Amino acid sequence: MALCFGLSLLACGGAAAAAEPPANPAFEKLKTLVGTWETKTPHGRSTVSYEVVSAGSALLERIGGDEHKEMDMVTMYHPDGGKVLMTHYCSAKNQPRMKAENAGKDASTITFSFVDVTNLSAPDAGHMAGLVVKFEDESHFTQEWKWKDKSGEKVEVFRWTRTK
């Protein structure tokens, strides 16, 4: 077992020496979110934290609130050439996947469009269907979450303030 793990580290280390992927302004902008943020919702206070993982190749987002820890969610973001892909591990027990393309050089707004969703309980079951991230300044950003279910689509806006 230790030998397999060691060999996998060697294989990954060798890959790290390979040519760097092309620049991805949207992913680099998302990485500026590293830290902890909070917002107030009708249901109480929520926090979101960001952490760069996997040698800088992915961004981990953790969303939680004051209560109901079982409702906490995780989203993973990673570059794919000029795109950014995301998988959202939702408290609705499904996993929507989205992509962002053409965010521009400053990437002040990043729009994720729906690709597909795994573990959907029914074709019209509720799931996240889009995300827009807007950067205001070093201490504030907003997220516009698009939710889709049998009754249609709705958008919820969250304005986050940096705490750490």
Domains of the chain: 20-162 (2.40.128.20)
Question: For every one of its 164 residues, what pLDDT tens digit does the chain have, with 9 covering 90 and above?
Answer: 554 444 454 455 555 556 777 789 999 999 999 999 999 988 788 999 999 999 999 999 999 876 656 678 999 999 999 999 999 999 999 999 999 987 767 789 999 999 999 999 998 999 999 999 999 999 999 999 999 999 999 999 999 999 98
Burial pattern 111-142, b for ≥16 Cβ within 10 A else e, equals bbebeebeebeeeeebbbbbbbbebeeeeebe
Q: Could you tell me the two tokens for 159? A: 């304005």
The DSSP 8-state label assigned to residue 9 in this structure reads: H
How far from chain centre, in Å, is Cα 150? 25
Determine the pLDDT at residue 27: 96
Q: Which whole-number Å values give the CA distances from 51 to 24, 29, 65, in the listed order?
A: 18, 13, 18
In the prediction, which pLDDT does 18 show? 60
